[in-house]
Structure 1
Amino acid sequence: MSALVLALGAGAVIGLALGALGGGGGMLAVPALIYLLGLDPTSAATASLLIVSATSLTALTRHAGAVAWRTGVAFAAAGVVPAIAAAALARFIPNAVLTGSFAMIAAAAGIAMLRSTQLVEPASTGTVLTARRVGLSKVLTAGAGLGTVTGLLGVGGGFLAVPTLVTVLKLRMGVAIGTSLFVISINSAAALATRLATAQLTLDWRIIGPFAGAALLGAWDGKRLSGKVSTATLKRIFACLLFGLAAFMFIDAVVRPH
């Protein structure tokens, strides 16, 4: 199968995930770029950040009416510095360690997605609760953790953001998805700028261009997909994909020489 067809197919799936769920697509982007399209882990993470940034921003335009903006700004602000620091450090980490770390994060993302299918939406107007009631430290910790994962591995981190926004900040699921897309856009852009400024990379636009284009189109239609298929069903499907990827990448990190 040609690289162009693979790039278009993988990009479409990732865009649909981001548009429908507010996260999860970035976890598929890196392994697709490595194992289907032949990029090394460092280049794949950088290309993924570019794709996730553009795709999240596109999906955000479809969810702009359901975003808790002040909450999103606070959440993103907590993650920007960790995202920049992790992106700067990533180039010093061996590929095998990055692959193994990605496998563990993919498994965690799958578990988070399955757990989030059981979340009960709060009866909320979509505004954040006061820091005294939710615990400011929890918000800052979640934001910093999301930023670190984004910068280090090139994923958006929506699998962390959406459950946190629903369970800790008591946002409705629809508002959590929109807010998550805003946070992902900010953190991914910060990490991408750092990687481009600190690493000597040559990105293959013959692969990344079609991949990103298909992802953008998928992100635009993702919200429509979420209206036809239940969010819980979509999350279960992506959780199964993530568990499979986690197992494959862990074996690859241990067995294959890097």
Structure 2
Amino acid sequence: MSVLIAVTALPCGLLIGLLLGALGGGGSILAVPALVYVAGQSPHTATAGALVVVAVGAVTGLACHAAAGRVRWSAGAAFGTLGTAGTYLGSRWSAAAEPAVLMAAFAGLMCAVAVALLLRSLRERRAAQAARAGVASEPLPPLPGGAVPLRSRPVRVTATASAVGLLTGFFGVGGGFVVVPALTLVLGMEMPVAVGTSLLVIVINSGTALATRAGTGVLDWPLLAGVAACTALGSYAGNRLAARLPPQVLSAAFASLVAVLAVALAATAVPRL
């Protein structure tokens, strides 16, 4: 690993970790471009290496969120396990499938998720303002972490978990930008709890994808070790940031991030259709 690559790639690791720790997702989207355009790796190698970086950052963030009681272990483990089949298939298809059409469709999905989260964030903010003013407002759906059990919506949960696993395997991403909205919108978790629980899902998905890709390429372990170490530091800082911000701010920030990523993906994928 050259000095130039270290100077440019390691700060990317800090940013990836910061996003993972604070928002539970988005960092993995940055990991692949960083390894391709900054470190000069091939896309196939970068998608595998990104899984290592994201997994390390997710483990660090998971430990911090768990210590603060913001992880629902049973729900996260079940969600991650349900997505392993999709992760396996996605990893197998990644070398043969044309990603442009899928990326364009996924960009549209991310836009829809961003709108849904922004609307939910605005509703929560209005409810909080009404509560402070002593005005009755329309009750919100139950939000205590994991209040809606997975077994109450088996089809939606299984489909969402499988889709997240497919994305993880195919694109080499952790899928947190989909897991967090799924945990908030489908299972009714509060944003901080969804962020912490999503990191458990990312660890499971990333581990499955790495096991499936084992032996398919040579990874630059010194580079990955340096980026992963910076990602761990960034994840710790992101966790501290998440603890200081109210859920409404986190939700709005995450929705904005998803929208920006959707536009970036669309700008890249649509011209290639």
TM range (shorter): 0.7 to 0.9
Q: How many residues align?
A: 248
- Separation in structure 1 between the aligned mates of residue 226 and residue 107 of structure 2, nearest angstrom: 24
Partner of 1:79: 83
Note closer, same or farther for the CA distance 1:151–1:85 as it changes in structure 2 (3 Å cut).
same
Q: TM-score, normalised by structure 1?
A: 0.85
1:66 alignment partner, SS class: coil
2:30 alignment partner, SS class: helix
Partner of 1:207: 223
Matched-pair contact (CA < 8 Å) for 1:100–1:249: no
Matched-pair contact (CA < 8 Å) for 2:117–2:255: no
Is 2:52 the counterpart of 1:50? yes
Over aligned residue pairs, what C-alpha RMSD do you find? 2.5
Matched-pair contact (CA < 8 Å) for 2:48–2:172: yes
Tell me how far 1:173 sits from its aligned partner: 1.4
Tell me how far 1:225 sits from its aligned partner: 2.2
Give the aligned residue type for 1:231: L
Larger Rg: 2
Partner of 1:169: 187
Give the aligned residue type for 1:246: L
Percent of residue pairs identical: 35
Is 2:88 the counterpart of 1:88? no
- Separation in structure 1 between the aligned mates of residue 108 and residue 40 of structure 2, nearest angstrom: 22
Is 2:265 the counterpart of 1:246? yes
- Separation in structure 1 between the aligned mates of residue 11 and residue 260 of structure 2, nearest angstrom: 15
Aligned ranges for residues 127-146 of structure 1 at < 5 Å?
127-130=146-149, 134-146=152-164
Q: Deviations over 1:130-154 (max 9, x none)?
A: 456x421001001001001001111
- Separation in structure 1 between the aligned mates of residue 262 and residue 149 of structure 2, nearest angstrom: 36
Tell me how far 1:12 sits from its aligned partner: 0.9
Tell me how far 1:68 sits from its aligned partner: 1.4
Aligned ranges for residues 203-242 of structure 1 at < 5 Å?
203-226=219-242, 227=244, 230-232=249-251, 234-235=253-254, 238-239=257-258, 241-242=260-261
Note closer, same or farther for the CA distance 1:167–1:154 as it changes in structure 2 (3 Å cut).
same
Matched-pair contact (CA < 8 Å) for 1:79–1:145: yes
Note closer, same or farther for the CA distance 1:34–1:62 as it changes in structure 2 (3 Å cut).
same
- Separation in structure 1 between the aligned mates of residue 149 and residue 256 of structure 2, nearest angstrom: 35
Aligned ranges for residues 104-115 of structure 1 at < 5 Å?
104-105=105-106, 108-109=109-110, 111-115=112-116
Partner of 1:17: 19
Tell me how far 1:158 sits from its aligned partner: 1.0
Is 2:168 the counterpart of 1:124? no
Tell me how far 1:161 sits from its aligned partner: 1.0
Matched-pair contact (CA < 8 Å) for 1:71–1:128: no
Q: TM-score, normalised by structure 2?
A: 0.80
- Separation in structure 1 between the aligned mates of residue 54 and residue 258 of structure 2, nearest angstrom: 19
Give the aligned residue type for 2:90: A
Note closer, same or farther for the CA distance 1:131–1:236 as it changes in structure 2 (3 Å cut).
closer
Tell me how far 1:191 sits from its aligned partner: 0.5
Matched-pair contact (CA < 8 Å) for 2:14–2:231: yes
Note closer, same or farther for the CA distance 1:111–1:130 as it changes in structure 2 (3 Å cut).
closer
Give the aligned residue type for 1:82: G
Tell me how far 1:252 sits from its aligned partner: 7.3
- Separation in structure 1 between the aligned mates of residue 104 and residue 48 of structure 2, nearest angstrom: 17
Matched-pair contact (CA < 8 Å) for 2:114–2:259: no
**Unmatched segments (≥5 aa) in structure 1:** none
Deviates more, 1:238-247 or 1:73-82: 238-247
